[in-house]
A = this chain, B = another copy of it.
Amino acid sequence: MSEKPTKIVKPRPISGYPEWLPEERIVELGWIDEIRAVFESYGFASIETPSVEEVDVLTAKGGDADKEIYTIKRLHEDPDAKSEARVALHYDMTVPLARYVAQHYGDLVYPFKRYQIQKAWRGERPQEGRFREFLQCDIDVIDNDNLSIEFDAEMPAIAYEIFQRLNIGNVTININNRKILQGFYSGLGLENVTQVIRVVDKMDKIGPDGVAKLLSNELGLDDAMVGKCLSLAEIKTSDSGFVDKVTALGVKNETLDEGLRELEFVMNALSHIPPGVVFADLSIARGFDYYTGTVYESKLADYPDFPSICSGGRYDNLVSSYMNKSLPGVGFSIGLTRIFVKLLKEGKLDIGAKSPTTVLVAQLPETKRELAASVAQQLRSRGINTEMYHEQAKLKNQMRYAERKGIAFVWFPPSEEGAMHEVKNMATGEQSSADLLSWKP
């Protein structure tokens, strides 16, 4: 009924768009399940926004991301048709969240606690840790007027629990508060606080000497001021010890004090997490303008040069581009694709079975199909993933199929109802009789 195509289009990977084999996807899906389970265990509800937003919505805030936006357009646009809304793929989940809250404002209950596990797209040059299509796992809480600082402390606890469950090695969670930076620099008498923050944020990339040079040459800070800025950025403690260290630098400012109190609260509330994970790190700034309090960054401890795998913070002003209000919020975003690809490349993922099947029911010449099917159905009804071998094939080939897919057990139904079932454990090679109604993997 169908004709052979005349031309074969040879498929190839598209740069920047990762794709996994089934055995890799099983691990990725397991991660998504764990992240979702932790988010929900803290009472955050799933939402999904469309993959696209109106271009005006995406670009309302302006900024660097604009140049990475992908618009969509029909391949054969009818020139006479009234043009569709001008839409583009979202490049993160922050703008969609803001638009969602503004659009459904009256239908949501506050504090509005949502998570969002979705693809995002950016037209960047693909390179390590950067993709054109990637999966982000975002969690945020938004309130109507005031948002309790306790949420700022809950976020790193949620992130820590996820990292534990994903089994991705040690992770450090570094926390700061923008009010400390803001207040400290203001207290020093600096006017261009935002620019100072942007320069200090480059510490990771250009080191203290590079930062010092920029502060002095480009922003005109004198040596004493540069010294204070660097001293602040060097403070890193695993408890609330940072307060005394900052105080010792002798800068007085109300916003600074407020930031210190907030960060102290957060660090104290996280004291149940084992040492070596959470740090008050006063060099963390997060470049984005919209953070106004607590900020977070997380690193894979084994790969200190690898970019942050989970970041976020508190903002006061999420929705003001879309409605006449300023709702405060706090949240973070896990770069799932970034972590997954890194650890896959490093050989650190536990890649196993190519199938979710636990039991393969063998096809035996002496067993009726109905009997084999009823065995499979009974195992499934007890929550055991079970597939039937549907081809007439030598037993050797059936075993080889189970082995190649990583299926743990092969089941041999009897030739007649009521007779003995047998199960082979593929890992040990052991084969023994089994009771269909009580057997467990």
| B69 pairs with A71, CB closer than 8 A | no
Nearest B residue to A14 via CB reads: B85
- Number of chain A residues close to chain B: CB under 8 A: 116
A200 to chain B, nearest CB (A): 14
Residues of chain B lying within 8 A (CB to CB) of residue A48: 19-20, 25
A41 CB contact (under 8 Å) in B20, B103, B386: B386
Given known pairs A19-B100, A390-B150, the reply for A119 and B70 (CB within 8 Å) is no
Among A15, A22, A320, A385, the most chain B Cβ lie within 10 Å of the Cβ of A22
| A113 pairs with B387, CB closer than 8 A | yes
A275 to chain B, nearest CB (A): 18
A209 at the interface (CB under 8 A from B): no
Which residues of A18-50 have CB atoms within 8 Å of chain B's CB atoms? 18-22, 25-26, 29, 40-50
A76 CB contact (under 8 Å) in B67, B103, B108, B150: B67
Q: CA separation between A321 and B159, bound complex, in Å?
A: 45
| A148 pairs with B55, CB closer than 8 A | no
Given known pairs A21-B107, A48-B19, the reply for A75 and B69 (CB within 8 Å) is yes
A385 CB contact (under 8 Å) in B4, B40, B59, B315: B40
Number of chain copies forming the complex: 2
Given known pairs A15-B85, A50-B17, the reply for A386 and B43 (CB within 8 Å) is yes
Q: CA separation between A317 and B133, bound complex, in Å?
A: 30
| A1 pairs with B50, CB closer than 8 A | no
A73 to chain B, nearest CB (A): 6
| A70 pairs with B60, CB closer than 8 A | no
* A–B complex contacts, Cβ < 8 Å, 13 sampled: A1-B182, A1-B194, A1-B289, A8-B324, A9-B321, A21-B108, A51-B51, A59-B75, A69-B76, A70-B73, A71-B75, A75-B123, A109-B355
Q: Report A's interface with B, CB cutoff 8 A.
A: 1-2, 4-5, 7-15, 17-22, 25-26, 29, 40-57, 59-61, 66-76, 84-85, 87-89, 99-100, 102-104, 107-109, 111, 113-114, 119, 121, 123, 133, 146, 148, 150-151, 154, 178, 182, 193-194, 269, 289-292, 315-317, 320-324, 354-357, 360, 369, 373, 380, 383, 385-388, 390-392, 401, 404-405, 407
